[in-house]
Structure 1
Amino acid sequence: MKFYRAFLALAVGAMLAVAPARAVELSIVSGDTGNGIKVLREMLDRYQKQSGNKVDIVVIPPSGTDQFGQFRLWLAAGNSDIDVYQTDVIWAPQLASQLVDLTAATRDVVAEHFASIIQSQTVNGKLVALPIFTDAPALYYRKDLLDKYGAKVPTTWRELADTAKLVMDKERTAGNKDLWGFVFQGNAYEGLTCDALEWVRSNGGGQIIEPNGTVSINNRQAAAALDMVKGWIGTIAPPGVLAYQEEESRGVWQTGNAVFMRNWPYAYALGNSETSPIKGKFDVAPLPAGTGEDARPTATLGGWNLAVSKYSKHQDAAIDLVKFIASPEMQKYRTLRTSNLPTIKALYDDPDIAREQPIVPRWKQIFLNAAPRPSAVAKIKYNEASSQFWTAVHNTMSGDGSAADNLADLEARLTRLKGKGW
């Protein structure tokens, strides 16, 4: 009898040792643009077959500003319904305390990513999010229309305005009444901070808040850049651009109703899709420079990551999911389907990507030299600082105060926000 009980105990123990882990249900929240949600679902379907776990997507509006506000509410409430958050590159310092430290769990994979991107998601020595794609914007231009009128790809904002007006006027005279010269992200949200940082910095106007914490935005070059943009509204850019985010801009562009567009790389694959009216008719170039003494082409650094909520009831499974989506195989899949820029270094030499999405290898140096928003210096105050900045810019574009007055007021507001330090 003793032998039987001992044998039974060993048998049961062996069965438990080889029994598969019980499947769990996970949720991931994303507000991706374009066909990003569709592609995410395709990747999750693969993960479900591989892991046995079930994953639901909680879809929210694509505005980064709205997403950040909602994420903070959920995390502040200790919401355990969301396991994985898709986070903007600028949010790590602000959300770090409520995210799982991924350092140990990702030690085997972080070397595959660009070190600078991993560092951007590291707060106080803890990796709080794993990157899934990076971003740096492009100037999209209608190659067919520029060729038609013998125009060159602009390298300065002044050239862009002149070329946009030239092509727009000639096309409208020929009957294309819906064509505009330039569309971009002019709504009052985080996207406008990205656009406006490019206008200001490319015109020698600084970085809003410098790396040493100095509030630098109130200067002549910055004001000149915003006055320039104000002059675009209703001339080369539609009045409605003041309400455009990424998808509204792409909508005008992809229907063939704009000569130029500022947008992120995701719009490249969509513009060349089989049903796109502009398939094969456009190309991309670096954003133009301004005309100030320190003028230089500037692209704002973007990018998205996956973070695990510390309130998740299935943290190990959530980490496994994050590593799956961020893996070289899934990043390649995403890039081929969406033209998002991968964060895996080796993929920039992948021949399939170079053939299917030629913007990707061309954009490696542009994103490596892209300008970060001042989130690292402003830390937990960044969201409010950015809100103050985009409000001043939007007011100027809307005709509510001059650029000089709005920037002087912005400087005072940011100085008060800074207080004794960031």
Structure 2
Amino acid sequence: MSVSRRGFLAGLGGLGTAAVLSACGSSDSGSSGSTASAGSSAAFSGKGPINFATGKDTTGKLQEILDGWNKSHPDEKVTLKELPESADDQRSAMIQNFQVKSDAYSVVGMDPIWVAEFASQQWVQALPSGTDTSKLLKSSVDAATYFKKLYGVPFTTNGELLFYRKDLLDAAGVAVPKTWDEMWAAWEKVKGTPAAKGMTAYAGQLSKYEGLTVNFTSAVLSAGGAVYDEENKPTVNTDEAKAGLQTLVDGFKKGYIGKPNLTYKEEESRQAFQDGKVMFLVNWPYVYPKAAATDGSSKVAGKFGIAPVPGIGSGTGTTVLGGLILGVSSFAKNKATALAFAQYMATESVQKEWTIASSQAPVATSLYSDADVIKAYPYTETLKKALDNAGTRPMAHNYGDVTLAIQNAVYPALSGGKSVDETLKSLQSKLETLAK
């Protein structure tokens, strides 16, 4: 499962977690409230049967949605092609299909970090100019955009949140922190109390894996910087990027972030918070139902709250996106049907049906004020605030090399092996080389 493919609403209200239908991405343009500049509508011709290739669905709901389409489009039926549960295996299957120019996959479910690669290789089609995205979250549309062209229709999204011990903050008379400095100050007021015995301040995903790229990118964005600029050029050797990384490094040096965080992925950090070992946690919303469980598995049930991730300095806290984007294969037959189907999956009725059934975050803006969704998932409005200010991981055509370079550079800095200046100077050079 991809680092950002955690169900945003997983398990609430007795609902099961959806399998693999979500993740991350970026770029300029394609904003909501407008239409997206893209390819020629002439490329999207032909109506008839199509295939939809995406990760395995364990809810059973996806086929029901496809059955609804098929009933109203008897001559344009969609066949579900379920790929393996692993995101890496899904990507491999799609690439193998693209490389032989097969028409077996008409619509493909893309992790947003694949958009740049698939687009640069011309494996997926730029959508027609005038494709309407006005009812979708702007950040999700940005995640489907590469060099100002829209390469897919967003289907789900996701973003990390700040989980905090509300009981401890309330007892200390401290407001919910909006910055990392406020977070550390809150901890200083609480750490000496009996309730905080055995705790540290913070947990995130800082092991040497994809989660580290997410956490580093979020820190840079939250300090007002960017890992890559709007022209897709690396920009990590800046004051803002240094402030972001320095915040993480100082967290370790000052003992706010415990050394075990160097081994933490999603589950380890979630468990630390759920076991009452940390006061603050940044993680995907799937944590909520687990931490709120009243079956004895959580020591913080009824004691925690949620908020958008904190900012750094004068920067605004910025989460990194997750989600799933529906692209149309450049080798597909019946592309008019493929595009119509992808757009159908982003309609409010389908989005609501899928959200309630699957625990995946919707891209339809209206659902974040929908009474049924809010009743089932109480933190929906908070997540909307986070998603409205969300950023993305680098939209690089060779993203695998980029994320590995980030992990290899940042991890030694967190563990005290390299200075922040040295780390980012070296990383800038490496990313510039990869951009050539």
Q: TM-score range by the shorter chain?
A: 0.7 to 0.9
Report deviation, 1:207: 0.8
Among candidates 39, 42, 54, match of residue 28 of structure 1: 54
Q: State the distance in 2 between where 1:94 and 1:295 align.
A: 30
Give the alignment of 1:57-96 within 5 angstroms: 57-61=82-86, 71-72=94-95, 75-76=98-99, 84-96=107-119
C-alpha change, 1:26 and 1:66, in structure 2 (3 Å) is closer
Distance in 1 (CA, whole Å) between partners of 2:233 and 2:127 is 32
Q: 2:28: which partner in 1?
A: none
Q: Which residue of 2 aligns with 1:417?
A: 434
CA distance in 1, matches of 2:49, 2:332: 15
Pick from 264, 272, 285 the counterpart of residue 307 of structure 2: 285
Q: How many residues in Structure 1 have an aligned counterpart in Structure 2?
A: 379
Deviates more, 1:229-238 or 1:258-267: 229-238
In the other structure, the counterpart of 1:184 is 204
Q: Please say if residues 50 and 338 of structure 2, whose CA atoms lie closer than 8 Å, have aligned partners that are also in contact.
A: no
Kept in 2: contact 1:48–1:55 (CA 8 A) = no
- The normalised TM-score by structure 2 is 0.70
Q: Tell me how far apart the structure 2 counterparts of residues 143 and 199 of structure 1 sit (CA, whole Å).
A: 23
Local SS of the residue matching 1:98: coil
Please name the residue that 2:226 is paired with. 207
Task: Give the % identical residues.
Answer: 26
Q: Which residue of 1 aligns with 2:369?
A: 349
CA contact (8 A) 1:207 1:216 kept: yes
Identify if the C-alpha distance between structure 1 residues 345 and 25 changes in structure 2 by more than 3 Å, giving closer, same or farther: closer
User: Separation in 1 of the partners of 2:301 and 2:357?
Assistant: 15
- What's the counterpart of residue 408 of structure 1? 425
- Report the CA distance shift for 1:411/1:56 in structure 2 as closer, same or farther (over 3 A): closer
Pairing of 1:36-55 with structure 2 (within 5 A): 37-39=57-59, 41-48=60-67, 51=70, 55=80
Long gaps (5+) in structure 2:
1-46, 72-77
Give the C-alpha shift of residue 262 in structure 1. Answer: 0.8
The residue aligned with 1:217 is 236
Specify every segment of 5 or more residues in structure 1 that has no aligned partner in the other structure, as ranges: 1-20, 31-36
Q: Give the deviation of 1:173 after TM superposition.
A: 7.0
Instruction: Tell me the TM-score normalized by structure 1.
Output: 0.72
Asked if 2 retains the 8 angstrom alpha-carbon contact of 1:269 and 1:337, the reply is no
Larger helix proportion of the pair = 1
Partner of 1:332: 352
2:180 pairs with one of 157, 172, 186: 157
Q: Provide the rounded CA distance (Å) in 2 between the counterparts of 1:281 and 1:287.
A: 18
Q: Taking structure 1 as reference, are residues 83 and 183 closer, same or farther at Cα in structure 2, changes over 3 Å only?
A: farther
- Residues 165-213 of structure 1 show CA distances to partners (whole Å, capped at 9, x for unaligned) of 6656645775xx5x44322121334432232122223335x21233255
Q: Which of 124, 128, 136 is the aligned partner of 1:113? A: 136
For residues 385 and 374 of structure 2, what CA distance do their matches in structure 1 show? 15
Relative CO higher for 1 or 2, CA cutoff 8 Å, sep ≥ 6? 2
Residues 120 and 225 of structure 1, relative CA distance in 2, 3 Å threshold: closer
Cα distance in 1 between the residues matched to 2:125 and 2:152? 8
